[in-house]
Chains A and B, each alone.
Chain A
Amino acid sequence: MLVQRGREVGEMEAELKEMLDDLESLGRSLPDPSRNASIDKLRSRVKHLSELAKFAPVHRSKVKDMSAEVVDSNPYSRLMALQRMGIVENYERIREYSVAIVGIGGVGSVAAEMLTRCGVGRLLLYDYDKVELANMNRLFFRPEQVGMTKTDAAVQTLSDINPDVVLESYTLNITTVQGFETFISSLKNKSFRPDKEGSGVDLVLSCVDNYEARMVVNQACNELNQTWMESGVSEDAVSGHIQLLIPGETACFACAPPLVVASGVDERTLKREGVCAASLPTTMGVIAGLLVQNTLKFLLKFGHVSPYLGYNSLKDYFPTMEMRPNPQCANAACLERQATNLTGLCL
């Protein structure tokens, strides 16, 4: 009973069946047998339509508990198997976690789909853009969604894939004063898990395509003392990176923008995705995969959570490194976090 046939689908099937019956009686009542061939042709076409109708969109209903039972109808059986194989101690905890994804583009939308399929508790989605045909070289969005806001289109697809995930969408520009206030208050909201310490989310994923927006995510997370992960794909579409940022503990985005270190290119000179840059579904898919893998390891506490992982696709080179905060960082909130971090240590 996991899968519910939509009402419309049921009506369509009933309608087609009646049509078949009508055709049958029409064939019997026709005096001229030479017409029978065309009636038969019509009947076979209606039969074909009935077959097609069986594959019309169906929606699965919500699942109360994640089951480890290995049956075709259990959406979580292969994920719960991670527990039995000893990789994850308690997979079902994923339902308690909230992840905020800022920027629902080539990386963010794919990351959102991955987390949705993993059954994450709650996703908060932020973007102000609309889906365009020019986005179709990347994954996730479909041509029929052109013109919709990326947040609406994402909710449409994600809620179909997994209705268990609580989706919150925010169509706004976080770099404006008003957008920033809404961004901060949505991260602070603890109604999903009132007993949670700190903010209302467990992790923020930055999947934006420009320096200004990254600096804004950095500002918000420094102020909220919120752990976040940054991701990026270069303007020439052949390299990218992910980075873990723990305010006061690791370098913040203003301490040292990652690409300066990785490639010697100043991050501020990078152009953005879209009209002024190239993009590939492959590189963006790889980066989204690395980002969500790191997210799962961070949330479900398995393996090693990478502080920084680069991806150079031309040489298949994956550099890693760790970065301490800059004591001369220009960001005041970062310096405050560094200070509390020091006093919190037993020296």
Chain B
Amino acid sequence: MEGWDPSTKSTLTQIPLLGTKAGPRDGAGWTQRLKEEYKALIAYTQMNKSNDNDWFRISAANPEGTRWTGKCWYVHNLLKYEFDLQFDIPVTYPATAPELELPQLDGKTQKMYRGGKICLTVHFKPLWAKNCPRFGIAHALCLGLAPWLAAEVPILVDSGMIKHKDDAPSSNES
């Protein structure tokens, strides 16, 4: 866990680990894995709420549980910035992590691949691989998206690339 800040570390260790090594092509194994994913996500969300740091909603967008959509948000200078969050579960999951996408920020930052996939730190993928199959979606959000938002949203706001929804629409028309 070298290279991670202490609060990410302590949060991560409290998210329940998963036990089933199964991907979306594994039938009953995948159904079991999905149950474990939800369990970990619910535990992580409750933990966030009790720490007054609720920051995302995510759920499967299709019955197979391969497409996930939701929202995430980040508070900067007392203002809340909210973004759509989406990703697909890759066929090689959980050997490879899902690629988290923030489509509204596509093209607004260098720390992103085409289609709005966030660039993860060099620490993420080795840690994910080492912890396969124990890490799930909740861990990917905690280790991947949370640090990305904390690093990028302040830069995007301060450079004017994104505006808060209250002063975005008609403010510069007059």
Contacts and interface: CB of A to CB of B under 8 A. Distances in A.
A268 B91 contact: no
Interface stretch (A54-62, A95-103, A175-183, A315-323): A175-183
Interface of B: 24-25, 64, 66, 88-92, 95-97, 99, 110-114, 119, 122, 125-126, 128-129, 132
A276 B92 contact: no
A278 B97 CA distance: 24
Max count, chain B CB within 10 A of own CB: residue among A175, A215, A274: A175
A219 B113 CA distance: 24
Interface in A194-243: 211-212, 215-216, 219
A175 B113 contact: no
7 contacts: A176-B66, A177-B25, A177-B91, A216-B90, A266-B126, A269-B125, A274-B113
A129 interface: yes
Interface of A: 129, 132, 173-177, 180, 211-212, 215-216, 219, 254, 266, 268-269, 271-272, 274-276, 330-331
Classify the interface of chain B: helix, strand, loop or mixed: loop
A272 B117 CA distance: 11
A268 B125 contact: yes
A217 B125 CA distance: 18
A215 B92 contact: yes
A180 B91 CA distance: 7
Given A177-B24, A268-B129, A276 B111 contact: yes
Contact of A212 (B92, B110, B132): B92
Given A176-B66, A177-B66, A177-B91, A330 B110 contact: no
B125 A176 contact: no
A272 B113 CA distance: 8
A274 B114 CA distance: 8
Contacts of B24: 177
A175 B90 contact: yes
Given A254-B95, A275-B113, A212 B119 contact: no
